[in-house]
Amino acid sequence: MTTDSDTSANESDSPGRHGNTESNSLQNKKMLCGICDLSLLSRNPVFLVYAFAVFLGSGMAFTAVAALLFLRAESKELSSSRDLSFLISMYGVFNMLGRLLPVPILYLIPALTSVRLYGIALFFAGVISFLSVFANSFAVYGVVTAILGNIIGLTSTLLAQVIKDLFGPSLVTAGVAITTPFLAVGAILGPTFAGLIYDLTSSYDNSFHFFGACSVTAGSFVVIMESYFNKRRRKSRQSDELYHSEEEVEMVPMEKSRNLTHYKMNM
């Protein structure tokens, strides 16, 4: 026992192991700094808009609406306790199915990008939230619940894919690490504001109007952000192509002069 402990102590104190420990700690620090790269928010306005849309739409609106669906059905006496449990199960099933939808949708519609699909889903969810206040039967309310569950599940799958398509694979980890607190804070504030609105107005309809407006605003921001980002990317490509074409034009006279000098020397 003593010999083994002494041997392990000597191996741990060897220079090679000490150097490996330092290099591993430096790599871990670099990885942590890459994950917590908060400069994305300041140097990239597109990412800031996306983070705000996640906070407003996927965070505040969707979390609150998911809870309000069942509270409103109970307050309007649209369902019994048994029907309400069925409504909750139906929401969960369609939410799960919605998480599988982005792949076939993006495959069948090549012109539709993940960013555009995310923005359209947020916008459409806001419109459904507005219209849900007119549902006065259990059947219609069940359809509304299924649609919203489907959309909320779809947007959950697209969160990381939107970051990859906008900023590249190298920033996916940092982007997800930064947007997750926005999503979490929105998820905390959403039900809080929903309860406050109900306490002030004694109606769940006003909460649906408010969070529907939040979701529509977030979706509009994402769609506008994508068009702005595409225009900026096109301009950068055109400037790069113009720069390379000018370089090629400058290279041609230089090659001609070299050939002429070589010809005169041979003469």
pLDDT digits (tens, 9 = 90+) for 37-59: 566 666 677 888 889 999 999 99
Give 192-206 pLDDT, tens digit per residue.
999 999 999 888 889
Query: Is the CB of residue 39 less than 8 Å from the CB of residue 175?
Result: no
pLDDT, residue 264, reads 47
Give 125-158 pLDDT, tens digit per residue.
999 999 988 888 888 888 999 999 999 999 999 9
pLDDT at 6 over 70: no
Sign of the Cα pseudo-torsion (73, 78, 82, 86, in order): negative
pLDDT at 103 over 60: yes
Q: Is 101 helix (H, G, I), strand (E, B) or coil?
A: coil
pLDDT at 36 over 80: no
Q: Which of 28-37, 60-69, 77-86 has the lowest mean pLDDT?
A: 28-37
Mean pLDDT of 241-253: 51
Q: How far apart are CA 201 and CA 204, in angstroms?
A: 8
pLDDT at 161 over 50: yes
pLDDT, residue 69, reads 87
pLDDT, residue 263, reads 44
222 Cα distance to chain centroid: 10
Q: How much is the pTM?
A: 0.74
pLDDT, residue 260, reads 46
- Identify the CA nearest to 124 among candidates 143, 147, 142, 158: 147
Q: How far apart are CA 212 and CA 196, in angstroms?
A: 16
Of the spans 4-8, 89-93, 243-247, which averages the highest pLDDT? 89-93
Q: Is 195 helix (H, G, I), strand (E, B) or coil?
A: helix
